[in-house]
């Protein structure tokens, strides 16, 4: 018989096949070494930050304990900070002139306590603006770990499909390479060897024999600094999620003080999740939130904005689908309808059906095919569902939209809730001024809990009320769980009005038109004569110099038009209520791709919810808003998980105007909300000072401002 391959060719095929097989195995096994590299780099980053923090504590810090430690002796010996002391033994300290054995022991114990306290409260984040070696080391380790992950999965798939038959082919083919014995090998065995060589050649000519995965792997592990640092800036939330898992969270508590009873926490943590339908990597607090949602069945997730309530909701649907649940419905404001569809497709393998308006065809398609229907509160009022049709889970986003039991949308949603066992309400602001609103939302979820809340709401302590809410309500703040989040720096930019501006403001006040009064300084026909406009321009110029992007918020379209004219080609298209949700997202995408110095201008109502704009790190409010929740939502577009730069919030204000009074009211309202939403301090009488309607306090404020100006 003619031999297709000679012995040399067969040997080369065998070596190539073995090398390829071994290459896939090593690629698969690279995960353990990459995880180890992440942990070592994470520890390096933690040690670096600990050292920097202790170096920033000068030796005088020892005197705060008032233990009679003679700090001057240490300073004279050249010991400048706590870090130096932490590296010294008691004997070394005792060797300092004037320091006795007892004093040395006291210093050692005090320094040890300071170090332990510092470790306990240390918050570590990666510095993207001025990274040092510890920053770049952890980013590189995470980059390799994350970007090799899909390669490992592909390698595992190819290895598992090819390894066993490959071993059999190698066993047959290697007989051709046994030298002299080949001459005495039977024709049948030679034929088998040639057939095995054929199979090897065919296998190596296909996907298994491609070098693409190995080339990609090499390009990842040898990537230059600019590549992995740029990837971190674009995907920092993904990096921190991986760091929390592979790097073990840098030793920092991951769930925060959730205010839940210990027994409930244990039950929730013991709940097993199957997340095979989820693409996203969850943070530990998000995993707990998902377990809480699934375990408790009917809940209100009140996490502060920017903590990923949406991905927790998607994870809950994915987990329930793995349990056999087939139909889910998300009810949300129209402004975030498109965003919900995109997020579900991005973070899960669940299919999405958009049901907008009275789209019976889309509704029928979802009922037939399952997975997720995304619809609006208005749409729920228009369509009907068969009485016996069961919905696996209903998610109501911005659930405070249904806090009033008398509205049509509340009644429509309440009727729909009867067709499901699992309900998730989501709201970063479940209550602003009235405890009754929280009680009503709870009544839609777990009536028994709501009844108990009604009974104790006037007499309970904060801790008692938290315990009563525990089966229904889970809230974490950014400070609780996002230990890596950069600083939020808020500045009041007081602008000095010209005589022209003062006259225009006086005319507005005397007119009694509250909306005109609020547009302090922006009333100028020529925007260049506005002191607020001048300050805004200066802030935007500074942001460009610092390679930052800016979001400008205002309630008033006229103000935004002036800002757009002022900034000209630096701006994106203005986001207003008239811009469709799809176009809003496109504008944000354009802004994300734009160069540093770009400015996004938005009406605070239109851009303050549903959009993720982490590429911006400067926020400017053209005027104070009437509720703290409006400002908080707007700030949270940029100050959220994934933000890696300190976020600067500037409020443009004018002295001796209504701006001052509105700022005071905002602060008071924020205190009330913090007391309820974050601390669960209850009692409606405690909120009585601001229980009057918006109209009444606005009327009073305008009247007082008129009186003040008339008296001048």
252: Cα within 13 Å, side-chain hemisphere:
30
Is the pLDDT reported for residue 433 higher than 80?
Answer: no
Task: Look up tokens 């071993």; give the residue.
Answer: 167
Q: What percent of the chain has pLDDT over 70?
A: 87
Among candidates 111, 130, 131, which has minimal Cα distance to 63? 111
160: Cα within 13 Å, side-chain hemisphere:
7
Sign of the CA dihedral 472, 475, 481, 485?
positive
Region label for 68, one of left (φ > 0), alpha (ψ between -120 and 50) or beta (otherwise):
left
The 3-class secondary structure across 584-646, one letter per residue, is: HHHHHHHHHHCCCCCEEEEEHHHHCCCCCCCCCCEEEECCCCCCHHHHHHHHCCCCCCCCCCC
Q: In CATH, what class is 486-710?
A: alpha beta
* Residue 421 near residue 299 (C-beta atoms within 8 A): no
Q: What is the pLDDT of residues 331-343, one digit of tens each?
A: 998 877 887 998 8
* Residue 401 near residue 336 (C-beta atoms within 8 A): no
Which range has highest mean pLDDT (1-15, 31-45, 416-430, 480-494)?
31-45
Question: In the chain, what are the domain boundaries?
Answer: 7-34+129-234, 50-121, 256-480, 486-710
pLDDT band at 351 (very low <50, low <70, confident <90, very high): very high
Distance between CA atoms of 602 and 599, rounded to whole angstroms?
10
Q: What is the pLDDT of residues 668-687, one digit of tens each?
A: 666 555 544 444 333 333 33
Q: Token pair for residue 18?
A: 């073995």
pLDDT band at 434 (very low <50, low <70, confident <90, very high): low
Q: In CATH, what class is 256-480?
A: alpha beta
Task: Look up tokens 């005397």; give the residue.
Answer: 510
Q: What is the pLDDT of residues 472-491, one digit of tens each?
A: 999 887 777 776 667 788 88
Same fold, 256-480 and 486-710: yes
Which range has highest mean pLDDT (127-131, 161-165, 172-176)?
161-165
Instruction: Estimate the share of the chain in helix, then strand, then coil, as percent rounded to the nearest 5.
Output: 60, 10, 30
Q: What is the pLDDT of residues 577-633, one digit of tens each?
A: 898 888 988 999 899 899 999 999 999 988 766 677 888 989 999 999 888 778 888
Write the CA distances from 647 to 102, 124, 273, 643, integer angstroms: 48, 17, 35, 8
pLDDT for the residue 672: 53
Is the pLDDT reported for residue 528 higher than 50?
Answer: yes
Q: Which of 395-409, 413-427, 462-476, 498-512 has the lowest mean pLDDT?
A: 462-476
Task: Look up tokens 């007391």; give the residue.
Answer: 675
Question: What are the residue ranges of helices labelled H in 446-556?
Answer: 447-456, 462-469, 478-481, 499-511, 514-518, 531-545
Average pLDDT in the chain: 85
pLDDT for the residue 664: 81
Indicate the CATH number for domain 50-121. 1.10.150
């Amino acid at each position: 018989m003619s031999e297709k391959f000679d012995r040399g060719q067969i040997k080369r095929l065998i070596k190539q096949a073995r090398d390829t097989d071994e290459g896939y195995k090593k690629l698969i096994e690279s995960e353990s070494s990459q995880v180890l590299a992440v942990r070592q780099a994470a520890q390096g980053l933690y040690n670096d930050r600990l050292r920097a923090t202790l170096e920033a504590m000068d030796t005088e810090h020892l005197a705060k304990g008032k233990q009679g430690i003679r700090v001057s002796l240490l300073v004279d010996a050249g010991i400048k900070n706590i870090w130096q002391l932490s590296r010294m033994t008691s004997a070394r300290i005792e060797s300092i002139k004037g320091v006795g054995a007892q004093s040395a022991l006291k210093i050692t114990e005090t320094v040890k306590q300071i170090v332990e306290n510092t470790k306990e409260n240390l918050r570590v984040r990666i510095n993207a603006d001025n990274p040092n070696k510890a920053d770049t080391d952890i980013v590189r380790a995470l980059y390799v770990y994350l970007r090799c992950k899909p390669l490992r999965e592909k390698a595992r798939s190819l290895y598992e499909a090819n390894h066993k038959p490959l071993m059999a082919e190698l066993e047959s083919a290697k007989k051709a390479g046994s030298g002299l014995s080949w001459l005495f090998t039977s024709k049948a065995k030679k034929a088998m060897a040639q057939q095995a060589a054929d199979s090897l050649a065919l296998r190596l000519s296909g996907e298994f024999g491609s070098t693409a995965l190995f080339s990609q792997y090499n390009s990842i592990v040898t990537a230059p600094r600019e590549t992995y640092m740029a990837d971190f800036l674009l995907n920092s939330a993904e990096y921190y999620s991986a760091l929390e898992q592979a790097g073990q969270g840098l030793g920092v508590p991951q769930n925060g003080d959730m205010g839940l009873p210990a027994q409930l926490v244990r039950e929730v943590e013991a709940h097993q999740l199957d997340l095979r339908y989820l693409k996203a990597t969850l943070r530990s607090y998000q995993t707990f939130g998902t377990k809480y949602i699934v375990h408790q069945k009917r809940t209100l997730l009140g996490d502060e904005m920017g903590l990923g309530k949406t991905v927790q909701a998607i994870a809950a649907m994915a987990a329930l689908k793995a349990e056999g649940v087939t139909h889910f419905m998300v009810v949300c404001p129209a402004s975030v309808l498109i965003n919900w569809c995109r997020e579900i497709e991005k973070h899960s393998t669940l299919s999405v059906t958009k049901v907008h308006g009275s789209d019976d065809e889309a509704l029928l398609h979802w009922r037939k095919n399952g997975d997720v229907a995304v619809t609006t509160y208005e749409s729920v009022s228009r369509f009907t569902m068969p009485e016996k049709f069961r919905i696996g889970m209903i998610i109501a986003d911005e659930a405070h939209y249904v806090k009033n039991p008398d509205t049509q949308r509340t009644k429509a949603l309440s009727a729909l809730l009867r067709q499901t066992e699992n309900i998730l309400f989501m709201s970063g602001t479940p209550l602003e001024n009235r405890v009754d609103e929280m009680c009503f939302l709870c009544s839609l979820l777990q009536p028994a809990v709501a009844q108990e809340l009604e009974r104790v709401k006037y007499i309970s302590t904060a801790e008692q009320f938290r315990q009563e809410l525990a089966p229904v309500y889970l809230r974490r703040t950014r400070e609780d769980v996002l230990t890596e989040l950069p600083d939020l720096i808020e500045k009041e930019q007081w602008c000095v009005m010209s005589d022209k501006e003062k006259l225009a403001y006086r005319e507005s006040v005397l007119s009694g038109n509250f909306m005109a009064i609020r547009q302090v300084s922006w009333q100028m026909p020529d925007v260049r004569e506005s002191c607020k406009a001048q300050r805004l321009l200066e802030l935007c110029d500074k942001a460009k110099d610092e390679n930052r992007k800016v979001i400008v918020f205002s309630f008033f379209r006229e103000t935004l038009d002036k800002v757009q004219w002022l900034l000209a080609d630096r701006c994106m298209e203005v986001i207003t209520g008239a811009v469709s949700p799809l176009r809003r997202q496109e504008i944000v995408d354009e802004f994300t791709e734009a160069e540093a110095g770009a400015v996004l201008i938005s009406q605070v109502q239109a851009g303050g919810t549903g959009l993720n704009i982490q590429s911006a790190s400067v926020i400017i409010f053209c005027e104070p808003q009437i509720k703290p929740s409006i400002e908080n939502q707007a700030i949270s577009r940029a100050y959220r998980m994934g933000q890696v730069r300190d976020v600067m919030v500037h409020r443009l204000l004018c002295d001796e105007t209504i701006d001052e009074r509105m700022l005071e009211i905002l602060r008071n309202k924020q205190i009330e909300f913090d007391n309820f939403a974050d601390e669960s301090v209850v009692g409606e009488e405690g909120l009585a000072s601001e229980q009057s309607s918006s109209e009444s306090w606005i009327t009073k404020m305008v009247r007082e401002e008129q009186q003040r100006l008339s008296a001048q």
